[in-house]
Amino acid sequence: MATLAYNQRDLFSVGTSDTKEAIDIPVWAACVIVTVLIGGVVSLFVAAWWHSHYSLEGDTLGYRSGLLFKVRRHCDLDHVQSVDIVRPFLGRLIGVCTLRVVMSGTTMTLSYLTLNQARTLKARILAEDAGDEKLYRVKAKDLVLALLLDIGTNIWSLVLVAFGVLPYALSGELLTLSTLIAFAPKVWRLTGKRLFVYTGWSITRTAEGSYRTDYGMFDTQQYTYRDSRVASIEIHQPVLWRRLDWVEVKVAVAGAAVPGLLVPVCPRAVAEKMVLHLLGPGTVSHLHEPIPAPPEARKVTPFHKALGYRLDNGYFTAWRGFFLRNVTTVAPVGRIQSVSVDQGPWQRRFALASVYAHMAGGNSVPAAHRTNVESADLATRLYEQSMDYAEAKPGHQAGLVNTGR
């Protein structure tokens, strides 16, 4: 600290080298100022750590923190959706991390834990055993190639070249490179930032039947998907990944606003294995042989060949997508909260309608552009099977809604 203050001693003077009116602060004073500032910041962190406490008694997790403003929180372990271990880069240097407990509509953050404390507490919260099994780890070369083949990366890279590099190459004016400011951040988020976040991505199956993801180059994180909270699984396949048969897997969890990422890139066989474990053995057959859209659908969308659905064995699967990306969504019928039939004015002209199975968390699984008879039959079947599940498990509610726009 003294060396830092001495090297920056010019910052503590007023005037120029040509004047004799410079007001110099002694080196010892500069050292004291820097020491007080750094010591104050360190003291705040130490005080925050000293006043942070957690307790786990029975099925209740408690946490209290705060130096001036006291915060006390309690949660029932039955309401916990996932538990994540977050290790920021600076936290890794001093050996501490953060445990993030996600519940429906809220998150409890336990800071200043050692890694062993965080892992032990996480295991107790999720009732995990030690028999974890490492299932898949994304290879670095596969990740780099997948990011380069991502259609979004290619489109924004072309935009960057067309509006930033090409004008400079034609005119030679440095001012034309200023347009890079508008597009470079987007390209960075699609390439470098995702590379740092996704590096080291691995999938582990815990002994109690959930999936845990570990990822991050500098800020390492963990996220656990409990099979009992999974509402649906989405398998995305961009057009440039089809030759390699690679897919991206996302999981919609009850209470979460958007689906979470289970694995950024993996072979389809690995994705099917994850679906098999999280939703049950009857789901793998649902990932093949969809019921295609009727011939009338070609009148309302040029991508009618990508549409389809399948409903049997207690699972509802829907296929959708455009030329650039196909999406397959599979969901247990028992976790459907409501069913709606939507018919727009253009669909009404050709006697078509779309059926939506609304899952917990706000996401929906669509069967788009079916005939009126087929959509009514599908909605009725989804509703009846949901009601059968509701009768088997009190507290689950399902409903049928007709909407027309």
pLDDT at 404: 47
**What φ, ψ does residue 2 adopt, rounded to 5°?**
-65, -40
Residue ranges of E strands in 146-259: 202-205, 211-215, 220-225, 230-238, 246-253
Diameter of the chain measured on Cα atoms: 94
One pLDDT digit (tens) per residue for the chain, 405 residues? 444 444 444 544 444 445 444 456 677 777 888 888 887 776 776 666 666 667 776 677 777 776 666 777 777 776 777 777 888 877 777 788 888 887 766 777 777 788 888 888 887 777 655 567 788 899 999 999 999 888 888 787 777 777 776 776 767 666 666 667 777 777 787 788 888 889 999 998 877 667 888 898 888 888 888 777 888 899 999 989 999 999 999 998 876 767 889 999 999 999 988 888 888 777 777 788 889 999 999 999 888 888 999 998 889 999 998 777 899 999 988 888 889 999 989 999 999 999 999 987 678 899 999 999 999 999 999 988 888 876 766 544 445 544 444
pTM over 0.85: no
pLDDT at 12: 43
Could you tell me the end-to-end alpha-carbon distance of the chain, in angstroms, rounded to an integer?
68
pLDDT at 121: 81
Structure tokens that stand for 255 in this block: 């209470």
175 φ/ψ sector (left φ>0, alpha ψ -120 to 50, else beta): alpha
Letter string b/e over residues 92-127, b meaning 16 or more CB atoms within 10 A of that residue's CB: eeeebbbbbbbbeeeebebbbbeeeebbebbbebbe
pLDDT digits (tens, 9 = 90+) for 127-163: 655 567 788 899 999 999 999 888 888 787 777 777 7
